[in-house]
Amino acid sequence: MKKSSRATFAEALIAVIVAGLIGAGLWLDRAQPDLSAPPRAGTSGRLFEGNTLFCPPPSPGAASTVAVASPIGVQSVGVAVAGDGGAGDLGDLAAGRTLIAHSGGGGPTEVAASGGTVVAGAASSATGGDERGSSAARCSEEAASAWYFAEGSSSLGVEERLVLYNPFPDESVARVAFYTPAGEELKANLADVAVPSGEAVSLRVNDYILRRRSLAAEIDALRGRVVAWKTVAASVAGDGGEDAIRGVYSTLGATAPSATWYFPEGGAGGDISERISVLNPSRREAIVTVSLNGSSRSVQPPSLVEIPIPPKSSSSVALGSVLKSSDAAGGLSAVVQSTNGVPVVAERTVTYSSAGLTGIATELGADGAATAWSLGPGLEDASDDTVIVMNPGSRDANVDVVLLGRRAPVEPAALNGISVPSGSRRIVAVERWTRSRPSIALLNSDNPVVAERRSYAGVDVALEMGRPLEDAH
Q: What is the pLDDT of residues 104-129, one digit of tens each?
A: 667 898 998 888 888 999 988 776 66
Instruction: Say yes or no to pLDDT of 22 above 60.
Output: no
Which CB contacts under 8 angstroms, 24+ apart, belong to 295-302? 295/331, 295/424, 295/425, 295/426, 295/427, 296/421, 296/424, 298/423, 299/323, 299/327, 299/332, 301/327
Tell whether pTM > 0.75.
yes
The full set of domains in the chain, from first to last, is: 5-124 (2.60.120), 146-252 (2.60.290.11)
Residues ≥6 apart with Cβ < 8 Å to 348: 151, 263, 265, 266, 274, 275, 276, 277, 334, 362, 363, 365
Per mean pLDDT, which range of 159-173, 250-264, 350-364, 442-456 is the poorest? 350-364
More confident residue, 84 or 402: 402
For residue 284, what are the CA distances in angstroms to 150, 176, 340?
17, 20, 10
As to burial, measured by CB atoms within 10 angstroms (0-12 exposed, 13-18 middle, 19+ buried), residue 432 is: exposed
Indicate the average pLDDT of the chain.
83
Q: What percent of the chain lies above the pLDDT cut of 90?
A: 51
- Can you tell me the distance from the alpha carbon of 190 to that of 209, in angstroms, rounded to the nearest whole number? 11
Question: Under DSSP, is residue 182 helix (H, G, I), strand (E, B) or coil?
Answer: coil
Instruction: Say yes or no to pLDDT of 285 above 50.
Output: yes
> What does the pLDDT average to over 376-389?
92
CA torsion sign for 58, 64, 65, 66 is: positive
Question: Under DSSP, is residue 189 helix (H, G, I), strand (E, B) or coil?
Answer: helix
- DSSP string spanning 221-262? EEES-BEEEEEEEEEE--TTS-PPEEEEEEEEPBSS-BSEEE
What local confidence, expressed as pLDDT, does residue 48 receive? 46
Instruction: Say yes or no to pLDDT of 368 above 50.
Output: yes
> What does the pLDDT average to over 129-143?
83
Single-letter amino acid, residue 68: V
What local confidence, expressed as pLDDT, does residue 128 receive? 64
Instruction: Say yes or no to pLDDT of 9 above 70.
Output: no
> What does the pLDDT average to over 144-168?
91
Bridge partner residues of 221 (DSSP):
174
Instruction: Say yes or no to pLDDT of 5 above 80.
Output: no
Instruction: Say yes or no to pLDDT of 165 above 90.
Output: yes
Tens of pLDDT, residues 401-433: 999 988 889 999 999 999 999 999 999 999 999
Q: Given pLDDT bands bounded at 50, 70 and 90, which one contains residue 453?
A: very high
Is the Cβ–Cβ distance between 447 and 397 less than 8 Å? yes
